[in-house]
Amino acid sequence: MRHEDYKQLLALEAVGALDEEERARLEGHLPSCAECREELREMSDAAASLLYTVAPVRPSAELRANVLARVRAVDPSEVFVDPSEVAAPPKAVDPSEALGRAQAPAGPSDPRALLGRISLWKLFAWRPALGFGAAVAALAVVLLGLSTLSLWNRNRSLGNEVARLSDRLREAETDLAGQREQLAGARNVEELLASPAVRVAELSGKQPAPQAHAMLAYDGNTGRAVVMATGLPPCPEGHAYQLWLIADNKPLPGGTFKTDAQGRARMSDRLPPNHTAPTFAVTLEREGGVPKPEGDIFLIGAPKG
Binding mask 35-54 for another protein (x = CB under 8 A): --x--xxxxxxxxxxxxxxx
Convert the chain into a string of H (helix), E (strand) and C (coil).
CCHHHHHHHHHHHHCCCCCHHHHHHHHHHHHHCHHHHHHHHHHHHHHHHHHHHCCCCCCCHHHHHHHHHHHHHCCHHHCCCCHHHHCCCCCCCCHHHHHHHHHCCCCCCCHHHHHHHCCHHHHHHCCCCCCHHHHHHHHHHHHHHHHHHHHHHHHHHHHHHHHHHHHHHHHHHHHHHHHHHHHHHHHHHHHHHHCCCEEEEEEEECCCCCCCEEEEEEECCCCEEEEEEECCCCCCCCEEEEEEEEECCEEEEEEEECCCCCCCEEEEEECCCCCCCCEEEEEEEECCCCCCCCCCEEEEECECC
What is the rounded distance in angstroms from the CA atom of residue 276 to the CA atom of residue 279? Answer: 10
| Interacting residue with another protein among 195, 287, 296, 297 (CB under 8 A) | 287
CB of 231 to another protein, least distance (A): 22
Smallest gap from residue 188 Cβ to another protein (A): 21
Q: How many other CB atoms are there within 10 angstroms of residue 244's CB atom?
A: 23
Q: How many residues bind another protein (CB under 8 A)?
A: 59
Question: Is 99 a residue that touches another protein (CB under 8 A)?
Answer: yes
Binder among 59, 166, 210, 292 for another protein (CB under 8 A):
59
d(CA 240, CA 232): 11
Q: Which stretch binds another protein (CB under 8 A): 67-75, 116-124, 190-198, 215-223?
A: 67-75
Among 21, 32, 102, 116, binds another protein (CB under 8 A): 102
* Residue 261 interacting with another protein (CB under 8 A): no
76 near another protein, rule: CB under 8 A: yes
Least distance from another protein to the Cβ atom of residue 64, Å = 7
- Residue 74 is a binding residue for another protein (CB under 8 A): yes
**CB nearer another protein, residue 220 or residue 256:** 256
12 binds another protein (CB under 8 A): yes
Residue 61 binds to another protein (criterion: CB under 8 A):
no
Task: Output 18 or 214, the one with its CB closest to another protein.
Answer: 18
Binding to another protein (CB under 8 A): which residues in 220-239?
238
165 contributes a contact to another protein by CB under 8 A: no
Question: Residues near 260 by Cβ (< 8 Å), separated by ≥ 6?
Answer: 83, 84
Name which of 206, 189, 193 is nearest 281 in CA terms: 206
Give whichever of 40 and 267 is closer to another protein, judged by the CB atom. Answer: 40
Minimum distance of another protein from residue 213's CB (angstroms): 25
Q: Can you give the length of the chain in residues?
A: 305
Stretch that binds another protein, among 12-20, 262-270, 275-283, 295-303 (CB under 8 A): 12-20
Question: Which one of 122, 170, 180, 292 is in contact with another protein (CB under 8 A)?
Answer: 170
Binding site for another protein (CB under 8 A): 8, 11-12, 14-17, 37, 40-60, 63-64, 66-68, 70-72, 74, 76, 78-82, 85, 91-93, 95, 98-99, 102, 170-171, 174, 238, 286-288
